[in-house]
Structure 1
């Protein structure tokens, strides 16, 4: 898609500089002007997607022109470039209705990415108003977290993402286990680029830039993989992750985030950006101790209200039962995932999520219940009752089938 722009500045030197900084095949300069009435006439004639103007200190003409464009031509987006950003200039620009105000670009690539980002975000806003839709409002960011490794976080995250995609939702899956993330193994994909390349090469993210670094799984899930080597983890800052999630939540219905079992700056950013935190725990005393400490930290971060506790491999075969978990760590159980080692390991080794390879298994049905609960968007979704009935029905069905095979001497 081409973005048609018009460049305006009283200063010929700045006009030339701005034009020279626009060097991208997707951005077309339709015209230029020094401002005033001629600029308005040209905008009316050529109908640019975007007007880029240089704003110097005390330039009321540019602010007046900005106000008229924003008021009379809402589909023409305005970018104001300033030599040196200060509070006074910013306040005046905001009063004129402009909210895309930035310093003079450092490079052509950075400028092109900023233009595309503004165009994309403003287009979503205008379309949302016209169609009476609220795209970003309905987006859900779901972080899967656990206080210890080996809890099955990645298994839950990948299968949940695929199940949501099966339900015709736009889903992004982000691997923020930056040192040892292995979502690509669970999905049997080989990414050309990862989040490490993304943060090094993209200065101002927009959805087109982000998607160019993602790998599309056969289920339709768009995956942003962890770095290919642990040493690249330090390149990914909390600020970069915050910008990334802000872009993703404007485009996808669900953003599923897999995390490491530690409270890094990046993990905390993901937690704070989430609408729901799927907190995974298990049935041994070490896991429960760490879970209790982690929930206490979630509380201090004022994030505990987002937590939905999931007990994975929920089988009462030890001295600690599923019923004990709630009293031990002081948080109600939201969902239980049964234990099925063969289904889970076979799916991992084949690189095919079990919601695809074994859709009738108890594991798949439990993930489907979690997906339905998220889709309902209600905290009143009685997941525990529904889960117990559905899993029991599946278990009874499997028992009856085995009995039928014995009676009929089936192999």
Structure 2
């Protein structure tokens, strides 16, 4: 899918600068023009998806053209670029209905990601208006967690995020495996910024500032990648993660979080901030042992009403069956993901989620089922009935001290 872009500026040098900054195979420059009637004729003939205009203080002709496009071509979206942004420029843009205003980009990759973000967001808005959908204003945080590495948590998180985005939802995918997260590999992206740059450079209450550190995937999901090196995990505190998730909920319909296979202060914060915890387990005794302990801990933290148990690679074996899992863990199975090594590994090696590359596979169908359950509200908290994961009083005291222990260890 190509995004057709037209460039408009009174100065030829600005058009050259913009052309040099657009180096992305998904973005196609269909033409350029100065302002005035010539620009209007080209817009009518070329029908671009996005028009990028340069704007300076007092450029009334640029604002007039932008306003005409906004009023008469609602499917063509306008981006205004300025060498610097001041109050006057922002007020002028808002007055004509244009809200995609930014300074000249620092890199071509940043510029391409911004163009894609505008394209996907504006198209989602237009689609929602046309379909007269019943909108849900309650954002949902879905955390994928498992008690051992190699369970397929990242595979589920990535494909689920893409599937939710296909349902016309604004989706953020956050990699909180801060030492060895690899969501970017599953999606074949090379993020210029990660969560460590976000918390180091600045942390504001402005969602646009946070989004500038995210990478936009062609599926429409926005990714906040894990740090590029494990030592940066130390600078990311639970308090900052809590603030970040609260901020993301103001903009995205779904925030999908991938986590490491162990409890940290950051992981506990994500779990407590979640609407739904997709707890992934498997069919071997080691995984089930770790899962049992982890479920007991989550019960002591009063999180069991959020848990939805998923059995990954759900193929009955001679020693342990799927029914055994439910009996051992004392928790109903919410969803089952079949085993298909070839489809999963091929998708990973290509960097294309299998819900896109192989939508007809059983794996893709199972992820679609999980997405549908979440969209239908079946992943929401339900009233807790009894103590699903009983622990003795001594164990509960130990677990209750976990947060304090983690804080001391971090110091």
- Interval of TM-score (by shorter of Structure 1 and Structure 2): 0.5 to 0.7
Match of 1:349 in 2: 349
Q: Does 1:153 align with 2:140?
A: no
Aligned length: 261
Q: How many Å separate the matches in 2 of 1:319 and 1:352?
A: 34
Q: How many Å separate the matches in 2 of 1:279 and 1:380?
A: 14
Q: How many Å separate the matches in 2 of 1:182 and 1:204?
A: 26
Match of 1:366 in 2: 366
Match of 2:296 in 1: 296
2:276 and 2:380 in contact (8 A); partners too = no
Q: Report the alpha carbon displacement of residue 138 of structure 1 after superposing the two structures with TM.
A: 1.5
Other structure's SS at 1:320 match:
coil
Alignment of 1:256-267 (within 5 A): 256-267=256-267
2:137 and 2:253 in contact (8 A); partners too = no
Q: How many Å separate the matches in 2 of 1:256 and 1:200?
A: 23
How does the TM-score come out when normalised to structure 1?
0.60
Q: How many Å separate the matches in 2 of 1:207 and 1:243?
A: 11
How does the TM-score come out when normalised to structure 2?
0.60
Deviations 1:91-131 (A, max 9, x none): xxxxxxxxxxxxxxxxxxxxxxxxxxxxxxxxxxxxxxxxx
Match of 1:143 in 2: 143
Q: Report the alpha carbon displacement of residue 318 of structure 1 after superposing the two structures with TM.
A: 3.4
Other structure's SS at 2:87 match:
strand
2:308 and 2:379 in contact (8 A); partners too = no
Q: Does 1:28 align with 2:79?
A: no
Q: Report the alpha carbon displacement of residue 185 of structure 1 after superposing the two structures with TM.
A: 0.3
1:136 and 1:250 in contact (8 A); partners too = no
Match of 1:167 in 2: 167
1:135 and 1:251 in contact (8 A); partners too = no
Other structure's SS at 2:204 match:
coil
Displacement over 2 Å in runs of 4+ = 24-30, 133-137, 378-381
Q: How many Å separate the matches in 2 of 1:134 and 1:206?
A: 27
Match of 2:210 in 1: 210
2:374 and 2:380 in contact (8 A); partners too = no
Q: How many Å separate the matches in 2 of 1:154 and 1:213?
A: 21
Alignment of 1:148-297 (within 5 A): 148-297=148-297
Cα RMSD (Å) of the superposition? 2.6
Change (3 A) 1:136 1:234: farther
Change (3 A) 1:134 1:226: farther
Match of 1:6 in 2: none
Change (3 A) 1:137 1:268: farther
Q: Report the alpha carbon displacement of residue 29 of structure 1 after superposing the two structures with TM.
A: 7.9
Q: How many Å separate the matches in 2 of 1:221 and 1:315?
A: 31
Q: How many Å separate the matches in 1 of 2:348 and 2:318?
A: 26
2:198 and 2:213 in contact (8 A); partners too = yes
**Structure 2 residues without counterparts, runs of 5 or longer:** 1-54, 56-82, 95-132, 382-411
Match of 2:334 in 1: 334
Q: How many Å separate the matches in 2 of 1:231 and 1:313?
A: 33
Change (3 A) 1:231 1:275: same
Q: Report the alpha carbon displacement of residue 204 of structure 1 after superposing the two structures with TM.
A: 2.0
Q: How many Å separate the matches in 1 of 2:375 and 2:366?
A: 14
